[in-house]
């Protein structure tokens, strides 16, 4: 009984902590004009193909010490761009992202740790209806005031996922062996800038 009550008290204290953090948080909108949602993946073992998603929206919260508290984003799959139309069409097909059936990729943070300059974020990433945890790490730039006096904050973050964990399972081995046409590991590269939510 004592252990049970102790767990309840701990849960209530944790809830109170997060409620207090949320009450003091300032919400920012991601500025898509000055942000980039990018990725990189090995192609035929010998090179790396880079791409990005052009359409996305998101928010992030900073506490009263300008430290990251939470973040979330929605990304339009059909906006994928790797500078090659045929490849982009294939990526939008059921072989890869199936943009018609699953038009959005979503991310919601669950835990943020670290200092203002260096931080790590663990959150839920949803691709093709499959939700898995992903870890991102990076650093924060700012805040600063722009020429109009608007507060701006920037983030750089990177992480890695296995595409097959999300059902992005196109698989083709090189005829000569020794590797895949498209590697399973995908590097996530984020450059984010935001301004206070209006």
Helix (H) or strand (E) holding 104: strand 104-114
Average pLDDT over residues 162-191: 73
CATH number at residue 144: 2.40.128.110
Residue 45, in any domain of the structure: yes
Task: Write the CB contacts of 170 (distance below 8 Å, at least 6 apart in sequence).
Answer: 95, 96, 182
Residue 152, in any domain of the structure: yes
Q: How many structural domains compose the chain?
A: 1
The separation between the first and the last C-alpha atoms of the chain, rounded to the nearest angstrom, is 48
Task: Write the CB contacts of 59 (distance below 8 Å, at least 6 apart in sequence).
Answer: 27, 28, 29, 30, 71, 72, 73, 194, 197
Q: How confident is the model at residue 48 (pLDDT cuts 50, 70, 90)?
A: confident
Residue 178, in any domain of the structure: yes
Residue 56, in any domain of the structure: yes
Give per-residue pLDDT as tens, 27-45.
Answer: 999 999 999 999 998 765 5
Evaluate if residue 74 carries a pLDDT over 80: yes
Percent of the chain with pLDDT over 90: 62
43 versus 69: which is more confidently predicted? 69
What does the pLDDT read at residue 166?
Answer: 94
| C-alpha atoms less than 13 angstroms from C-alpha of 166 in its C-beta half-sphere | 26
120: containing domain: 25-196
Average pLDDT over residues 112-121: 85
Six-digit token pair at 155? 């983030």
Residue 19, in any domain of the structure: no
Evaluate if residue 60 carries a pLDDT over 70: yes
Residue 13, in any domain of the structure: no
């Amino acid at each position: 009984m004592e252990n049970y009550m102790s767990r309840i008290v701990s849960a209530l204290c944790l809830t109170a902590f997060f409620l207090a953090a949320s009450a003091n948080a300032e919400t920012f909108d991601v500025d898509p004009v000055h942000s980039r949602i990018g990725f990189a993946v090995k192609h035929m073992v010998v090179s790396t193909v880079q791409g990005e998603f052009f359409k996305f929206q998101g928010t992030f919260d900073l506490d009263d010490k300008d430290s990251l508290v939470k973040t979330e984003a929605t990304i339009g799959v059909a906006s994928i761009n790797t500078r090659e139309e045929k490849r982009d069409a294939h990526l939008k097909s059921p072989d890869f992202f199936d943009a018609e059936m699953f038009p959005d990729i979503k991310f919601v943070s669950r835990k943020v740790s670290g200092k203002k300059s260096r931080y790590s974020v663990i959150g839920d990433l949803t691709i093709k209806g499959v939700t898995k945890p992903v870890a991102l790490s990076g650093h924060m730039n700012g805040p600063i005031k722009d020429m109009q006096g608007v507060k701006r904050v920037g983030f750089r973050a990177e992480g890695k996922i296995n595409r097959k964990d999300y059902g992005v399972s196109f698989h083709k081995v090189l005829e000569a062996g020794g590797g895949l046409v498209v590697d399973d590991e995908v590097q996530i590269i984020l450059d984010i800038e935001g301004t206070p939510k209006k």
